[in-house]
Amino acid sequence: MILIVDSGSTKSDWIAVDNNGKKLLEKLRTKGLNPEILKADKIKKIIKKNPDLKAHRKEVTHVFFYGAGCGTDRAKDIVYSVLKEVFLNAIVKVEEDTMAAVYGTISHDTEAAVVCILGTGSNCSYFDGSVLHQRVQSLGYILMDDASGNYYGKELIRDYYFNLMPEAIKVAFGSKYNMEADYIKYNIYKQPNPNAYLANFAEFIFLNKDSEYIVELIKKGIRVFVKNYIMQYTEVIKTVPVHFAGSIAFFAQKEIKEVADEMGFTVGNFERRPIEGLVAFHTKKLQTT
């Protein structure tokens, strides 16, 4: 049994397949397993809490894990150690979530592309067809993550409190969410996964895209992301496509394409959840080795 995992800060998708790519279990989901946010014992507890993963853990021969927060050797080692402890008989490989986005969006194994993630967090890398190049190391949701779910959550909350929302939008936003200051501060400063809490607010922008304010808010975030991330690769963006993975990107395709026209790059593929592409990639690799 092969386990392929696409883990964000909010949730993790698990698919179990055989060597031919045939699914052995229904798609499984656990909470996000970001090692920059969670300690090793918490990650292990989340995995073991899933009854299917617990029941079949001795049957697993390979685990291919792609996760948010796995961009450093230290973080990879945390996840690797947990997975080896849970799945006793498995060969384990841990990569950052950017590689999941690469394998889930490129059109063929050796395609060169700039690949972006816009989900709970955000990131951007250049894949030259064999090697991943990343020029910005993520400093997390407080300092970075432009155009991500938590970015838009912060922007909405700030605009609400600074009275920068149109009145109708402010009323709708205040009706949908608990906007009491003490409640917001408790969730951001006292609870685990504040980035996921903030990202929950991002749903609002996609339910209210008939508002000019919301459309401009989406574009504002994308422009900042392009300036800070995509433009790190100015020498290649004229010749390669820019692919996008993640829910924020998937639902903001129109705005991303409009900003791309403004800022001079070519949009390629959109993939909301790259895990299906990962299944095809890994089963093909196993069959040829």
Q: Is the pLDDT higher at 17 or at 278? A: 17
Q: Residue 34 falls within a domain, yes or no?
A: yes
Residue type, 95: E
Residue 13, domain extent: 2-101+274-287
Number of domain units in the chain: 1
Contact 101, 245 (CB under 8 A): yes
Assign 89 a pLDDT band (cuts: 50, 70, 90).
very high
- 278 falls within a domain: yes
CA–CA separation, 35 vs 75, rounded Å?
6
List, for residues 150-191, the tens digit of each pLDDT value.
999 999 999 999 999 999 999 999 999 999 999 999 999 999
Q: Do the Cβ atoms of 6 and 12 come closer than 8 Å?
A: yes
- Assess if residue 54 is contained within a domain: yes
Q: Is residue 76 domain-resident? A: yes
DSSP structure class, residue 107:
S
Tell me the CA distances in angstroms from 68 to 7, 119, 150, 236, 281, one per residue in order: 6, 10, 14, 25, 19
Residue 204's contacts (CB-CB under 8 Å, 6 or more residues apart) are: 156, 172, 173, 176, 177
* Adjacency order of strands within the sheet including 28-31: 28-31, 11-17, 2-7, 62-67, 91-96
Residue 190: how many CB atoms within 10 A of its CB? 8
The percent of the chain in helix, strand and coil, each rounded to the nearest 5, is 45, 20, 35
Return the structure tokens found at 237. Answer: 């963006």
Average pLDDT over all residues of the chain: 93
Does the pLDDT value for residue 244 go beyond 80? yes
Question: Is residue 105 over pLDDT 80?
Answer: yes
**% of the chain at pLDDT higher than 90:** 76
- Any domain includes 139: no
What is the enclosing helix (H) or strand (E) of 86?
helix 73-86
Residue 25 maps to a domain: yes
Residue 193 belongs to a domain: no
Q: What pLDDT was estimated at residue 250?
A: 95
Output the CA–CA distances (angstroms, integers) from residue 99 to 39, 49, 236, 245, 270, in the order listed.
Answer: 23, 27, 19, 11, 15
CATH number of the domain at 24, please.
3.30.420.40
Phi-psi region of 193 (alpha: psi -120 to 50; beta: other; left: phi over 0): left
Domain assignment of residue 90, yes or no: yes
Tell me if 66 sits within 8 A of 278, measured CB to CB. Answer: yes
Instruction: Identify which of 74, 100, 80, 77 has the alpha carbon closest to the alpha carbon of residue 92.
Output: 80
Pairing of strands 91-96, 11-17: unpaired
